[in-house]
Amino acid sequence: MKIALMMENSQAGKNAMVSAELESVAGGLGHDVFNLGMTDENDHHLTYIHLGIMASILINSKAVDFVVTGCGTGQGALMSLNLHPGVVCGYCLEPSDAFLFNQINNGNAISLAFAKGFGWAGELNVRYIFEKAFTGERGQGYPLERAEPQQRNAALLNEVKAAVVKDNFIDSLRAIDQELVKTAVGSARFQQCFFDHCQNQDIADYVRSILD
């Protein structure tokens, strides 16, 4: 699995720690981890609005399979990612949230709070969240006797979202302020991850047109 980490400006100072924990856990399980910033407060400037655009492009193009993100409370990033087609983001404050999202909702992104409640041993909480998010087979249900209706409802939720978002994905990107999109795709790390792994030529052509 290819996993992208993306953090916005207010929590950029924690990126090195979060990236190290994610690489230790997910990399140790054989997943590929891409740290797309912000790596510090002087990096290519991103807000949680940009994170949603980045995640949608990466996931819909199949450049990555999963996104780890967050902001001060985790709420802004959560809402930003869930605005977009094809992205199902869960809210994880503790390891049990990650386990239940993994097993019941089986989405493709998680949002963490990197400021609210982030005190002593915060790095341990992050590590254990990643362990529960990426360990074991996904979508098995919890408790197991509820597996069948949970799997059915997760699939139905994806169908409802696809029905509500009727526009072509690239048309939906074009409907956004193009300066927001240009900033979202503007960093060298994003571009390398995207162009190296993108599996959708139309989305690749659109991103190139924005950068040109």
Answer yes or no: are the C-beta atoms of 50 and 193 closer than 8 Å: no
Token duo for residue 59: 């996931």
Question: Sheet holding 2-5: strands in order across?
Answer: 32-35, 2-5, 66-71, 109-113, 89-92
pLDDT at residue number 165: 77
pLDDT at 13: 96
- What CA–CA distance (Å, rounded) separates 205 from 142? 41
Q: What is the pLDDT of residue 193?
A: 98
Give the model confidence (pLDDT) of 26-78 as tens digits: 999 999 999 999 999 999 999 999 999 999 999 999 999 999 999 999 999 99
Q: List, in order of start, the domains of the chain with CATH numbers.
A: 2-211 (3.40.1400.10)
SS3 call for 112: strand
Nearest-angstrom CA–CA distance, 117 and 18: 15
Count of other CB atoms within 10 angstroms of residue 38: 24
pTM over the 0.75 mark: yes
First to last CA, the chain: 30
pLDDT tens profile 3-18: 999 999 999 999 999 9
